[in-house]
Structure formats: structure tokens, C-alpha cells
A and B are shown apart, each in its own frame.
Chain A
Amino acid sequence: MSDAAVTRPTPSQSLLLRNLAVFAENRLAAGSAILVLIFVALALFAPLIAPQDPNATDLFRRLQPPAWQAGGDWAHVLGCDALGRDILSRIIYGSRVSMLVGATVVFIATSIGILAGLAAGYLGGWVDTIISRTVDILLGFPYLIFAIGLMAMMGAGLGNIILALVYKEWVIPCRVVRAETLATREQEYVEAARALGASNRHIMLREILPNILSPVIVVSTIRMANVIILEASLSFLGLGVQPPTASWGAMVADGRAFIMQAWWVSTFPGLAILLLVLALNVASQGLRDAFDPRFHE
């Protein structure tokens, strides 16, 4: 394989550094990226950070208010839920579910989406027809209803949430990849590789993929925020992880009944969702601005 024959636009080292520099200059985006990393650290080191066992119930601390309110104490800074469990610790452990679901779903969906999109865009013909029709059909379902139906079918649990979301999520990167592939496939270097007798597989994975990867990654980071909200929504509707595992959406739902008696139970986990999703959105916007000049205003 002589790459030297055609000049293929590889993302150069210096360009990557320059883009990263642009990203770092955007203080808001960089700050958000740090916040996301803090959440990742929380998730990874939850057992070291959390002040209490997140699942230890104590009925005598039922609905204990946060530390600064009358009846609260500093051992349970953000108060306790209906079973007397420490809310702060549950939020810290809850970040695991959000992060894990967000990252896994996006990773699997993007991988599937890339393969399907490449195949549809490059091979065309009946492969394209089948993939595109499947995409159209899946797009016809409202996202949440589709996920609710799947969860009812498969039952609650972490693995099932991931599956339920992946089933529809892959469609989004798939469409992006297909469109990008269609635009790329008539490019000179692809033609050249084909003329040199490269296999379809080689062309798709080695020639086209590296050049369309950056918009796909940008889309994926944006989707991660959405996936986290979707997981929280499913948990909120009672179709999430199994108890006693803490999940932010389920915590908001649990606290909703007590909202007039104990505002803290659902307020803090909701705030955690907002912070993480906001940080992800700001950071991914920064990434997009830095890496994909087409989005520059």
C-alpha cells in the first residue's frame, strides 16, 4: 500500500496541538472539562470520597434535613432520604451510574453507528437501503417511549438501560457517518486507493474513517449529555437501575413525593444532573469550536 502516491490529509500532530490550544483558551469550556473530570474522579473513587455508606439505612434519620438547617448534622451534610440514607454519599455513588451509562451507551452506539454508516455510505445498494430504512423506522419512535417499551420488555437493571438506549442511539452517529462517507467517497485519495486494488474494508476503515472521525466524535460528546438525561428520565419513571443502587434520576423521583416536607431529597440530585450535563454541553461545544472549523461563526 503506497500512501505516498496520493497526499492524504492526515490530521497532523501540530494541528491537534493547535486545536487543543484553542480549546484551552476557551476558559469556560476548559473549566467545564475540568468539572467533567471531577465527576469522573467522583465516580472512580466514590468509596474513598463518600462520607457514608450510600446504602446504609437508618430509619431514625428518615428525612433528616441538611446540616445547616435545624435538625441536621455535619455527618450528613446534604441530609438524608426517606430511608435515612446519606444524600451526599448517594449523589457521589450515583455519578457512577450516570457516567457509566453515558460513556458506555455513546461508545457502543458510536461504534455501531460508524460501522453501519460506513457500510451504508460507501457500499450503497441494498446495504444502504436496509440500513437507511432501519434508521428511518427507528427515527419514527419517540426516543423515550421506545426506551420505556424496551425496559418494560427486558426489566430494570443497569445492563438493560444501556441496551435500551443503544438500540436507538446508534442511529444518530450512523446518519452523520453516512452523510460524511457519501461526501468523502468520491475524493481523490479514496479513488486512488480503489484504483490500487485496496479492499472495501481497507478503504472504509483506513482511508475514510480517519478523515470523518472528528465530526463524529464531536457529535458523540454532545450526545453523551443527552444520554445522561435520558437515563435519569428512565430512572425517574421507575425503569432504571435496581435498588439500592443510587441513580440521580431515581433519587429525584423518590424525593418528589416528599417535596413539600423535605425539599432536599430531590433538589440536590437534580442539581447534580444539571451540573454534569451542563459541563458536558459547554465542554463539547468548546471541542466543536476548536476541532471543527465548519462550526465557527
Chain B
Amino acid sequence: MRKLTSAGLAALIAFGATSQTVAAKDLVIGFSADAATLDPANHRDTNTETIIREMYDGILTRDPAMHVVPQLAESYKQISPTVYEFKIRKGVKFHDGSTMTAEDVKFTLDRIWEKGGLGDGQTSPRQSLLGPIKSVDVVNGDTLRVTLSAPWSLLPAMLPFQEVVSKAFVGKVGTAGMATQEDGTGPFQLVQWNKGDSVVMKRFDDYWGGKACVDRVIFKTIPESSSRVAALLAGDAQIIDHLPPYAVSQVNASGNAKAVFVNGTRSYFIAMNLTEKPFTDIRVREAIAHAIDKPLVINKILGGHAVAINGILSPDAFGKNKALKGLAYDPALSRKLLKEAGYPNGIKVTMDVTGPDKDTAEAVASLMAKGGITTKVQVGESAMLGSKWRTMGKPKTGDMYFTSWGNGSLDPQGIFMPTHHTDGRGNSSGYSNPKVDKLLDGAAVEVDRAKRAAMYEQAEAIAAKDVAYIYLWVPQDIYGVSKRLSGWQPSPDGRLNLVKACLK
């Protein structure tokens, strides 16, 4: 037995000695989630989209400054409030060698917007991302015309969310085949998908935009943040996503990796049940806002990697009201306001939150307690809290909800409309102001950019004055990157865009 143990130990040490040699040109991404499917039209998942996007291109995309720019379209223009025209790029090759045409682009869009377009009687779960499309037509070879049934200024901003597929390939493998195979036009093509573990891609040498720098890209699924950090520090991964703020200094001190930051697109805020006492009283809402020391929470819990907001929009968003003043931290004023509102002994409330935000919510709750708002944090699953708070106008139960709304497009409509319009899907507060509704409805169809921006600025000012929500912050997205990596920057929309990334 003793022999056996020492043999085991020897074997263990031998394992350590035989380190795996990673090929120099393999770019490994330590990614927090695996793809759900590889079919660009059959999911509703950001992580899946990020992975798919390395193999597929969109009709349009975003540049590093988040402006919408053509990708597989050479150019596009708006002909009328309801008609857009796209000139499709020539000579773009799919991974199987065939050439992409305007017909493929039409097919891609039809597959998403048409009822039952996915095949097998199914409708794409991404349909709602495309707005009121009436028809998509190919006019004279390489020009594509998209006709809307009503004006919808968001179309260009939403097109980067869709990837172009090959009509012939879909015909060949069917919707079932699309889930695990790909034939995109992107800079990388699929080698193997080890479900739950990794997606392995290799460079596509005929990429229309010039071939990528690295030989292979491997998305390695590592759900645990501490494991991702360990993989980065050990040199096993060259990029990791969702680097936790508290690990930033450790990564920077390691010598072989560093943390990089980019402003995120997710706004955090606290919803209050505006139809119930005590939140019907604006003084109570103001008291809550005054009780929260945003800079303290940002510095201590988020490591300083977040920007405080005083309205729903991210500072980078179009139409952001830069002049907006917040309600400053002042717990004494909170107590005074509560007293004026008829609560001399303060109030007792419950705040719902999902597991990942529990720490932050508890920190906020302990601050609120000092302002006279005794807050019990209640953790629930997102599946449950979604139904509880996102009632689209139906009555709610509950006091407060610590939540967030992501807005990858950075267009105000993607976040302002759902969270502030009467009966909006994300209107967890149950906020309703006809003036705001009118501004939002108008801005949605307004073609003049300056006028549209002004409308959003005005709406944001009204909502802030009403204290529709307690607006908190927009956290930065933090990535850990190896010092071997060059030519890569994080993007606010969470896309990785690895085509220009190189490894030393």
C-alpha cells in the first residue's frame, strides 16, 4: 500500500512536469458561457451572439466608437421614412467557397422577420429585434430594399444584431443542422464545438476584410470567475471576460496580464412600486435617492469601475442629457423628507434582487438604513423576479427592485422606451407620464437626429425630476488580457472582434 501511494505521488508530480504546449498562434478566450446554439436566427442570448459573430458578419456593424457602419453592405441609405436601401458588397465568400449575394441577405432577413420563417413552422425568437418589416426585396442584383409598414428609425441600429447566412447552406442542412454547423462569411470558421467546454475556430483565409492574424480562436467556457482569472494568470487564456473588479489589482500586478476597461451599456437602477404607498409620495422617492452614497458603493464594491448616472441613459448613449443633476448623498435630508411625508420614524421596505447583484444591493440597503429607510434585501431568481416586476402595466406586488437593463445598441429607444413608457415591458416602477410617453413615441419615428436627441434629453429630465427610478450607475466591462496580445480593444457592445488581434 505504501508503495502504491508513493507511486501515485510520483505520477502526480510527473503530470506537473509535462506541461501542455499551446501553439503560439492559438488565441484562447476564457469566456463565462458557452454558446446555446450556432444558429444566428434561433437564440436570444448575448454570449451566443458574441461567439457566433466571429464566424458570421452582419449587414451592418458598429465601429469602435459605436457608430453604425456598413459591413456586408457596402453602403446604405434611407429612401423614405419607411424604405431603406442596402448595396450589398461583391465578392464576399462563405466558408464553403460559394459567393454571397443579395439573395442570401434577403433570405437571412426573411428567415427572421417572417412568421414561420425559421422552417418547421417555427418563428425566429429574434423576430422582435427587427421591427415592423413589410417586405425585403432584391432590386437589380446587388441592391436590397427593406420596406417597413411604419416608420422605425431604429432599423440601422438593430441590424448589427443579425448575421447573414447562406441560403444554399440552410437549404442543405436545415434549421436542425444550423444549430451545430456554420457557413458564415466571418474571419473564422468552425473546427469543432465541444458542447459545454469549448468552441474551436480556425482562420478563414479568404475573408473579404483581409485575413485574421491568429491561426485559431478557442472560446473556452469557464463559468467561475476565479477560474477565469487563474487561467489568465497561468497564461492558458489570453482574453477573459467579466474580470471581477476586486481581481483587477492582482491581474495588473502579475506582470503577464493586465485589466482593460470599456464603458458598458447596462444601466443599474432601483425600481419602486409607484402604485403603492409610500412610493406614491415623491418625497419618499427623493429621500431614498438622497440616502444612497453612489461614489462609496462604486469605489468599494465596484472597484471604482462604474460611472454614476442621474437618468436612465448611459453617458455614451445618443441623446443623453449631460446637464442632468442628481440628488446628492445627504442622509439627514432623507430623514427630513420622510418626516415631511408623514414618516417620522422612517419606513420599512423590502428590496428584490437577483443573486449576482446581492452584494451590491446589500451595500445599498445598509446605506439606505442610515437614511431612515430600513431595507430588507430579498434574493430571488431572475425567472421569478422578471414575472413579478415586468408586468407591463398589470398591478405589482413588492416594494423595490434592484435591477438593470442592458442596451447593446446604445440607442435610447432600446432602454428608454421599455423602462419609462407607460406599460413598457421593463417598466418595473410602473411609471407613467403622458409627457414622457409623447416624447418617446415622437422620438421613435423622428428622422432628424438633432430633434430626436433633444426629445430624449427632455424626457430624461422629466423622468429624473419625477424620480421614476433611483438611477445608480453604468458599470464598466472589464476584460483581462495577456501582455502577449496586441491589436485588440474591448468594445462597449460586448463584441470581441478578434480579426485584428495578434499574439506575440
A and B touch in the complex (CB under 8 A): yes
Residues of A whose CB lies within 8 Å of any CB of B are 56-57, 59-60, 62-63, 82-83, 152, 155-156, 238, 242-244, 254, 256-261
B378-410 contacts to A, CB under 8 A, are: 378-381, 383-384
Cβ contacts A to B, 15 pairs, < 8 Å: A57-B363, A57-B366, A60-B300, A82-B246, A83-B362, A83-B363, A238-B379, A243-B358, A244-B362, A256-B224, A256-B226, A258-B246, A261-B246, A261-B247, A261-B250
Is the Cβ of B359 less than 8 Å from the Cβ of A82?
Answer: yes
| Chain B 287-305 interface 0/1 with A at a Cβ cutoff of 8 Å (1 = within) | 0000000001100110000
Q: CB-CB contacts of B2-45 with A at 8 A, as 1s and 0s? A: 00000000000000000000000000000000000000000000
In the bound complex, CA of A260 to CA of B246 (Å):
10
Q: Are A260 and B379 in contact (CB under 8 A)?
A: no
Q: Could you say which residues of chain B place their CB within 8 Å of the CB of A254?
A: 359
The smallest C-beta distance from A250 to any residue of chain B, in angstroms, reads 9
B355 interface residue, CB < 8 Å from A? Answer: yes
Task: Bits for B346-369, please: 1 = Cβ < 8 Å to A, else 0.
Answer: 000000000100110011001000
Residues of B within 8 A of A257 (CB): 225-226, 244, 246
Q: How far does the Cβ of A53 sit from chain B's closest Cβ, in whole Å?
A: 11
**B230 at interface (Cβ–Cβ under 8 A)?**
yes
Query: Which residues of chain B are near A261, meaning CB under 8 Å?
Result: 246-247, 250
- Contact (Cβ within 8 A) A260 B300: no
The distance in angstroms between the C-alpha atoms of A56 and B370, with both chains bound, is: 12
Residues of the B chain whose Cβ atoms lie less than 8 Å from the Cβ of A243: 358, 362, 377-379
Contacts of A63 in B (CB 8 A): 246
A152 to B379, CA, bound (A): 12
Instruction: Tell which of B230, B379, B381 touches A242, judged by Cβ atoms closer than 8 Å.
Output: B379
Q: How far is the CB of A135 from chain B (nearest CB, A)?
A: 30
State how many angstroms separate the Cβ of B465 from the closest Cβ of chain A.
30
Judge whether B455 is part of the interface by a CB distance below 8 angstroms: no
Inter-chain contact B247/A57, CB cutoff 8 Å:
no
Identify the 3 closest CB pairs spanning chains A and B, nearest first. Answer: A59-B300, A57-B366, A238-B355
Q: Does B459 contact A (CB under 8 A)?
A: no
**A244/B379 in contact, CB under 8 A:** no
Q: Does B272 contact A (CB under 8 A)?
A: no
**Bound form: Cα–Cα A63–B376 in Å:** 23
Q: Tell whether, in the assembled complex, residue B366 and residue A83 are in contact, meaning their CB atoms are under 8 Å apart.
A: yes
Contact A242 B378 (CB under 8 A): yes
Q: Which residue of A lies closest to B300 (CB)?
A: A59
Interface presence of B83 (CB below 8 A): no
* Distance to closest chain A CB from B157 (angstroms): 35
Residues from chain A with a CB closer than 8 A to the CB of B244 are 257
Asked if B229 CB lies within 8 Å of chain A CBs, one says: yes
In the complex, chain A residues whose CB is within 8 Å of the CB of B384:
155
Complex-state Cα separation, A57 to B244, whole angstroms = 21
Q: How far is the CB of A57 from chain B (nearest CB, A)?
A: 4
> Knowing A57-B363, A83-B363 touch, does A260 contact B230 (C-beta < 8 A)?
yes
Set of chain A residues within 8 Å of B359, measured between Cβ atoms: 82-83, 254
Closest A residue to B296 using CB positions: A59
CB distance from B321 to the nearest CB of A (A): 30
B226 adjacent to A59 (CB under 8 Å):
no
| Distance of A60 Cα from B299 Cα, bound (Å) | 10
Q: Report how far A259 CA is from B229 CA in the complex, Å.
A: 11
Query: Which has the most chain A C-beta neighbours within 10 Å: B296, B297, B363, B377?
Result: B363
Asked if A156 and B379 make an inter-chain contact with CB atoms under 8 angstroms apart, the answer reads yes
A155: chain B residues at CB < 8 Å are: 380, 384
B353's nearest neighbour on chain A, judged by CB, is: A243
Docked pose: A160 CA to B221 CA in angstroms: 33
Bound-state Cα–Cα, A56 to B230, Å: 32
Partner of B226, one of A57, A62, A259: A259
Contact status of A260 and B226, CB under 8 A, knowing A83-B366, A243-B358: yes
List the B side residues contacting A256 at CB < 8 Å: 224, 226
A175 to chain B: closest CB distance in Å? 33
A258's nearest neighbour on chain B, judged by CB, is: B246
- B229's partner among A60, A62, A82, A260 (CB-CB below 8 A) is A260
A260 and B250 form a contact (CB under 8 A): yes
Report B331 CB to chain A, min CB distance, Å.
15
CA distance A239 to B105 in the complex (A): 46
Q: Within the complex, which residue of A59, A152, A156 is in contact with B363, where a contact is CB–CB below 8 Å?
A: A59
Nearest residue (CB) in B for A240 is B379
Other A-B pairs, 9, CB within 8 Å; known A59-B363, A83-B363: A59-B297, A59-B300, A82-B301, A156-B379, A238-B355, A242-B377, A242-B379, A256-B224, A257-B244
Answer whether A152 and B250 are a contact pair too, CB < 8 Å, given A59-B301, A60-B300, A83-B359. Answer: no
CB closest chain-A residue, reference B247: A261
Would A152 and B381 count as touching, CB distance under 8 A? Answer: yes
Give every chain B residue within 8 A of A238 (Cβ-Cβ).
355, 379
Tell me which of A62, A244, A258, A259 contacts B377 (CB under 8 A). A244
A270 to B244 CA separation, bound complex (whole angstroms): 23
> Smallest Cβ distance from B133 to chain A, in angstroms?
38
> In the bound complex, what is the Cα–Cα distance between A62 and B358 (angstroms)?
15
Chain A residues within an 8 Å CB radius of B225 = 257
Q: Which residues of the other chain, B, contact A56 by a CB distance below 8 angstroms?
A: 366
Complex formed: what's the CA distance from A260 to B227 in Å? Answer: 9
Measured between alpha carbons, how far is A294 from B84 in the docked complex, in Å?
85
Complex Cα–Cα for A155 and B279 (A): 25
A104 and B363 alpha carbons, distance in the complex (Å)? 32
How many angstroms between the C-alpha atoms of A117 and B379 in the bound complex? 38
Distance, CA A48 to CA B301, complexed state (A): 31
**Which chain B residues in 314-359 approach chain A with CB under 8 Å?**
355, 358-359
Q: How far is the CA of A282 from the CA of B376 in the complex (A)?
A: 39
Q: Which residues of A contact B358 (CB under 8 A)?
A: 243
Kindly list chain A residues whose C-beta atoms are within 8 Å of the C-beta of B301. Answer: 59, 62, 82
Q: How far is the CA of A155 from the CA of B355 in the complex (A)?
A: 13
B362 near A57: Cβ-Cβ < 8 Å:
yes
Chain B residues, Cβ within 8 Å of A152: 381, 383
- When chains A and B are docked, how far (Å) is the Cα of A143 from the Cα of B224? 24
Bound Cα distance from A198 to B381, whole angstroms: 54
A-facing residues in B219-240 (Cβ within 8 Å): 224-226, 229-230
